Amino acid sequence: MIRVDSTGKSNSLIQVRGLDKTYRRGGEEIQVLQRLNLDVDKGDFVAFMGPSGSGKTTLLNLLGGLDVPTHGSITVAGDEITHMSGNKLTQWRARHVGFIFQMYNLIPVLNAFQNVELPLLLTKLSKSDRRKHVETALGVVGLAERMNHYPRQLSGGQEQRVAIARAIVADPTFLLCDEPTGDLDRKSADEIMALLAELVGKYNKTILMVTHDPVVAARAHSTLHLEKGVLVEGKTSRESVMAGGAV
Amino acid sequence: MKFSRLVLANLFRKKVRLILTIGSFAIALVLFTFLAVVKSAFSRGTEIAGADRLVVVSRIGLMQLMPISYRDKILTIHGVKAVTHNHWFGGVYQDEKNFFPQFVIDPENQRQVMTELVVPDDQWNNFVNDRMGAIAGARTAARFHWKIGDRIPIKTTLYGGGSSEFNLDGIYHSEHPGGDESQFWLQWKYFDENAPGPVKSTAGWYVVKLDSPDDAARVAKAIDATFANSSFETKTETESAFQAGFAKQFGNIELLILSIGGVVFFTLLLVTGNTMAISVRERTSELAVLKAIGFSGRAVLFFVLAESIIIALVGGVIGLALAYLLIPVIGIALTGLLPPLLLSKSLLTLGVGFALLVGAASGLLPGIGAMRMRVVNALRRV
């Protein structure tokens, strides 16, 4: 259940309270996010939409512990991350967050297996256990047969699947997807979205996704709109598609 | 190590660049090692000089002669064990470019004083009994393919000039690794009989063997005091001080070598530092992703440093191996111009240390940049 107006305590997986983010550019202050509140439960699939500069990616960076807010708090599974030190935040990211980027961002000199294994190198798992986890993750995304292929030997859709396998291999608390289909054709985008929906439906993963594409947003449970740094009331998936008029 | 695959994969990302960088390291290490060997060769005389030996020269200068009678006077000074004397012969063998030092020695005392220069007894006895005899250092004998029994023609412009043929009666070796084996010794008696009047019954310098190195300062003072206010005043100093002064005649070799070495160091540092900086810049987004998924800034610094140190070590070891092969060849080509070039284990260790230092220093700045890089900014650049 996603709520954008909560201000008190809740049992949600992710709680955002009074979140502000201000950048300084030259002498000018740019307020990117304003007094933002949000609750996301486990198993939710949320899409953030909005025009360029509305603060979508900034919100995703704050939720992923890649940036710190000017004011406000973010609490994930009981841990308030906004006051964590840099090192602690790094460890927290390794344990709780899976990132999926628009440009896949695989390491080109490592094959699919080695790319997916990267987050596990930070754990105490043995080599054989790491192998099992990687094979499972690649199996989930349907690329078990291509684990020895290098990124240049894979299509865009396949690269993004490897990136998804890398994001889920350490079983993080939630996934953050920044335009996961932005660099893909429609068919590949549909496949990736079906995969993300499967992760939510079958494996009860929690996903927060930024997208410009209403068709992609329609696969989420709910879509939240950001306008000038403020979250406005969400729409159902159907409403979102209709508003985009892209069906 | 579980990160080794990532480090190695990144190393081989641009193979041509990797080969060129390793090559620049290897060539720099050859140059560095050669300079270190030359510096070591010039200072070796000082290092292996006998601690219990003094050298007595004329106060006016090394080329000024002293009476041979000084030998007996020096022997009477308390703490003196033995005294020998030498003359510079200054001859030419076949061609002036075939230079090697020729000394007229005192066969009676040479072996008591210069104990580290060893001649087999039978060869020595032949030399002592042969007025036209000569003994050559092993290096010089090998250089001209001489063997015992050969007649060696030497032409000199000093002492009235002339040409003589000497019989090679023996070959000496130094007990010190890298010790001087280039000298050519002649009989003092033969020299004295044929020397012109002013040179007769003189010595170029004396070498004094002491009972104990602790007596060096006292005995040196006593020798100079004995001949003070005479027509031939002396200057006595330890053999190491004499060797150091002799080496300085070539100019400040150490400063020259350190200057060139410094230029090599900083050039290599700039080349490899630039290579690492470019390599890191090319991978900004990848390093940002690593940090995003939980690799710490220190881990990223470690990856960059590991790469630069591996490049430095591989290049360094190749360079040292090349130096190991080349320096003996260069040493033979420069015989007579430079003291023996000796690549010791300590110099090889120093070379590895030099490579490691440059490797770590060149990776440090790009590595710190990557460590401090903000993930959000780096991903925005993609």
Following DSSP, what letter does each residue of A17-44 receive, concatenated?
Answer: EEEEEEEEETTEEEEEEEEEEEEE-TT-
Could you report the per-residue pLDDT of A71-84, keeping only the tens digit for each?
999 999 999 999 89
Q: Indicate yes or no: CB of A122 within 8 angstroms of CB of B12.
A: no
Query: Can you tell me the distance from the alpha carbon of B23 to that of B16, in angstroms, rounded to the nearest whole number?
Result: 10
Query: Can you tell me the distance from the alpha carbon of B247 to that of B44, in angstroms, rounded to the nearest whole number?
Result: 10
Q: Indicate yes or no: CB of B295 within 8 angstroms of CB of A122.
A: yes
A63 contacts in chain B (CB < 8 Å):
none
Per-residue tokens: A2? 């996603």
| Distance from the first to the final alpha carbon of chain B | 30
Residue B168 identity (one-letter amino acid): L
A64 contacts in chain B (CB < 8 Å):
292
Per-residue tokens: B356? 């490691």
**For residue A246, what pLDDT is reported?**
34
Show the DSSP H helices in B105-204 as ranges. 110-113, 121-128, 138-143, 188-194
Tell me how close the Cα of A94 comes to any Cα of chain B, in angstroms: 4
Tell me how close the Cα of A48 comes to any Cα of chain B, in angstroms: 18
Structural domain contains residue A19? no
Q: Indicate yes or no: CB of B382 within 8 angstroms of CB of A103.
A: yes
Q: Indicate yes or no: CB of A109 within 8 angstroms of CB of B289.
A: no
A105 contacts in chain B (CB < 8 Å):
285-286, 289, 379, 382
**For residue B134, what pLDDT is reported?**
95
CB environment B118-141: b (16+ within 10 A), e (fewer): ebeeebbebbbebeebbbbbebbb
Which residues span the domain enclosing A214? 42-62+85-244
Contact by Cβ (8 Å): A110, B9: yes
Q: Which long-range contacts (CB under 8 A, 24 or more apart) does B356-360 make?
A: B356/B309, B356/B312, B356/B313, B356/B316, B358/B25, B358/B28, B358/B265, B358/B268, B358/B269, B358/B272, B358/B312, B359/B272, B359/B308, B359/B309, B359/B310, B359/B311, B359/B312, B359/B313, B359/B316, B360/B305, B360/B308, B360/B309, B360/B312
Structural domain contains residue A99? yes
**For residue B224, what pLDDT is reported?**
94
With vertex at residue B156, the alpha carbon angle to CA B150 and CA B160, rounded to the nearest 5 degrees, is 130
- Average pLDDT rounded to a whole number, residues A206-224: 93
B1 touches chain A (CB under 8 A): no
Q: Which residue of B has its CA nearest to A105?
A: B286
Describe the strand order of the beta sheet including A28-40 as a list of residue ranges. Answer: A28-40, A14-25, A71-76, A79-80
A89 contacts in chain B (CB < 8 Å):
none
Describe the strand order of the beta sheet including A45-49 as a list of residue ranges. Answer: A97-100, A174-178, A207-210, A45-49, A222-227, A230-236
Could you report the per-residue pLDDT of A158-184, keeping only the tens digit for each?
999 999 999 999 999 999 999 999 889
Q: Indicate yes or no: CB of B12 within 8 angstroms of CB of A64.
A: no
**For residue A4, what pLDDT is reported?**
66
Q: Tell me which residue in A90, A94, A110 faces B9 most closely, judged by beta carbons.
A: A110
Query: Can you tell me the distance from the alpha carbon of B183 to that of B45, in angstroms, rounded to the nearest whole number?
Result: 14
Q: Which residue of A has its CA nearest to B298?
A: A87
Q: Indicate yes or no: CB of B297 within 8 angstroms of CB of A90.
A: yes
The model scores a pTM over 0.80 = no
Contact by Cβ (8 Å): B275, B21: yes
**For residue A5, what pLDDT is reported?**
65
Contact by Cβ (8 Å): A162, A151: yes
Q: Indicate yes or no: CB of A87 within 8 angstroms of CB of B376.
A: no
CA torsion, ordered B196, B198, B199, B202, to nearest 10 deg: 150
Q: Indicate yes or no: CB of A114 within 8 angstroms of CB of B13.
A: no
Predicted confidence (pLDDT) at residue A240 exceeds the cutoff of 50: no
Q: Indicate yes or no: CB of B376 within 8 angstroms of CB of A109.
A: no
Mean of the per-residue pLDDT values of chain B: 88
B375 contacts in chain A (CB < 8 Å):
66
Give A151's pLDDT tier (boundaries 50, 70, 90): very high
**For residue B178, what pLDDT is reported?**
72
Structural domain contains residue A1? no
Query: Can you tell me the distance from the alpha carbon of B221 to that of B194, in angstroms, rounded to the nearest whole number?
Result: 34
Q: Tell me which residue in B10, B12, B292 faces A93 most closely, judged by beta carbons.
A: B292
CA torsion, ordered B202, B207, B211, B213, to nearest 10 deg: 140
Partner A, chain B 261-320, Cβ-Cβ below 8 Å:
285-286, 289-297
Which of B13, B289, B291 is the mutation pick for testing A, counting most A CBs within 10 A? Answer: B289
Strands (E), B108-204: 117-118, 133-137, 151-156, 162-174, 184-187, 202-203
Give A243's pLDDT tier (boundaries 50, 70, 90): very low
Query: Can you tell me the distance from the alpha carbon of B174 to that of B139, in angstroms, rounded to the nearest whole number?
Result: 10
Q: Indicate yes or no: CB of A103 within 8 angstroms of CB of B285.
A: yes
Show the DSSP H helices in chain B as ranges. 4-11, 15-48, 70-75, 110-113, 121-128, 138-143, 188-194, 216-226, 239-248, 253-282, 284-292, 297-333, 345-372, 375-380
Q: Indicate yes or no: CB of A105 within 8 angstroms of CB of B285.
A: yes
Contact by Cβ (8 Å): A4, A231: yes
**For residue B195, what pLDDT is reported?**
81
Strands A222-227 and A45-49: what pairing?
A: parallel
Q: How far is CA A163 from the centre of its chain?
A: 12
Query: Can you tell me the distance from the alpha carbon of B323 to that of B264, in angstroms, rounded to the nearest whole number?
Result: 15
Structural domain contains residue A72? no
Q: Which residues of chain B have pLDDT under 50?
A: 382
A103 contacts in chain B (CB < 8 Å):
285, 382
B9 contacts in chain A (CB < 8 Å):
107, 109-110, 114
Contact by Cβ (8 Å): B146, B152: yes
Per-residue tokens: A13? 């997986």
Query: Can you tell me the distance from the alpha carbon of A84 to that of A76, in angstroms, rounded to the nearest whole number?
Result: 12
Structural domain contains residue A21? no
Q: Which residue of B has its CA nearest to A102?
A: B382
Predicted confidence (pLDDT) at residue A244 exceeds the cutoff of 60: no
Predicted confidence (pLDDT) at residue A247 exceeds the cutoff of 50: no
Q: Indicate yes or no: CB of A64 within 8 angstroms of CB of B297.
A: no
CATH of the domain at A91: 3.40.50.300
**For residue A201, what pLDDT is reported?**
92
B292 contacts in chain A (CB < 8 Å):
64, 66, 93, 99
B18 touches chain A (CB under 8 A): no
The closest of B63, B62, B59, B73 to B235, measured between CA atoms, is: B59
Give A241's pLDDT tier (boundaries 50, 70, 90): very low
A61 contacts in chain B (CB < 8 Å):
376
**Helices then strands, each counted (H, E), chain A:** 8, 10
Predicted confidence (pLDDT) at residue A232 exceeds the cutoff of 90: no
Q: Tell me the CB-side half-sphere exposure of residue A84, using CA atoms within 13 A.
A: 22
Q: Is the CA virtual torsion A112, A114, A120, A125 positive or negative?
A: positive
Structural domain contains residue A101? yes
Structural domain contains residue A80? no
By residue count, chain A amounts to 247
Residue with structure tokens 């060139």?
Answer: B260
B345-372 vs B253-282: helix crossing angle, rounded to 10:
40
B3 contacts in chain A (CB < 8 Å):
121
Query: Can you tell me the distance from the alpha carbon of B114 to that of B96, in angstroms, rounded to the nearest whole number?
Result: 28
**For residue B95, what pLDDT is reported?**
86
Show the DSSP H helices in A86-142 as ranges. 86-96, 112-117, 127-140
Provide the number of structural domains found in chain A: 1
Q: Indicate yes or no: CB of A105 within 8 angstroms of CB of B286.
A: yes
Q: Which residue of A has its CA nearest to B8?
A: A109
